Structure 1
């Protein structure tokens, strides 16, 4: 990921069609789950959705998965639901060879919004 992208659209456009389709839906899911007025930018070389001009959630595409960062605390049921996708302390990886749980991504976003100071 040594490339620098001017916009989220440029970033998404760098992926092949099948991955791009998943990333477009992840992007849409995040925006639908977040409050009105969110923005987006490239931060650390990947898309970040912002709330009040502060990064709320990041998402990225890879060869075999898409990732969402960071991982909110949430309750016990939420932790149980995200466990199969955990990759390290702050990353959720969703394999591209399985259905992506978009509703779970929406829950991640809602938890991140609720946990903001």
Structure 2
């Protein structure tokens, strides 16, 4: 679902009360663990964590006017999603996440290429999401992006 919001607080304020708590806690978890250099902003109608133009002037290859996306957080119709580009682009990080997930959560992993979906709001592995957010620095992400994604 897309919400029309200019700020993360405005976005969260539009969510149903039960989702506000979950998204707020995920947001706090990400912000507390995200390495220095990433910036929070609204991105594609979701909470976004990006490499700002001040750090990476080239921006996103699909639309260079946009900063380079890294993570997003969204409340969808039937689930909450955490999007992590590094999981999609870095096989080592993907393997780490796949190995760690069952150690933190009893429910089956529901994941696409970079999208981790949580349908059960009671079983979100916040600690694991924090660890995932902390795993990749801005320099690491830009290097992987330029090597694997931008060239395509």
Same structural fold, with TM-score higher than 0.5 when normalized by the shorter chain? yes
TM-score by length of 2: 0.64
Count of equivalent residues: 117
1:36/1:95 Cα in 2 relative to 1: closer, same or farther (>3 Å)?
A: same
Which residue in 2 is equivalent to 1:62? 76
Q: Is the 8 A contact 2:46 2:74 kept in 1?
A: yes
Which residue in 2 is equivalent to 1:50? 50
Q: Which has the larger radius of gyration?
A: 2
Which residue in 2 is equivalent to 1:100? 124
Q: Is the 8 A contact 1:64 1:96 kept in 2?
A: no
Give unmatched runs, 5+ long, in structure 2. Answer: 54-67, 103-107, 144-152
RMSD of aligned alpha carbons: 2.4
Between stretches 24-33 and 51-60, larger displacement belongs to 51-60
Does residue 4 of structure 2 align to residue 4 of structure 1? yes
TM-score by length of 1: 0.81
Per the TM alignment, residue 93 of structure 1 is displaced from its structure 2 partner at its CA by 0.8
Normalized per residue, the structure richer in strand is 1
Give unmatched runs, 5+ long, in structure 1. Answer: none
Per the TM alignment, residue 52 of structure 1 is displaced from its structure 2 partner at its CA by 4.3
Per the TM alignment, residue 64 of structure 1 is displaced from its structure 2 partner at its CA by 3.3
Stretches (4+) displaced over 6 A: none
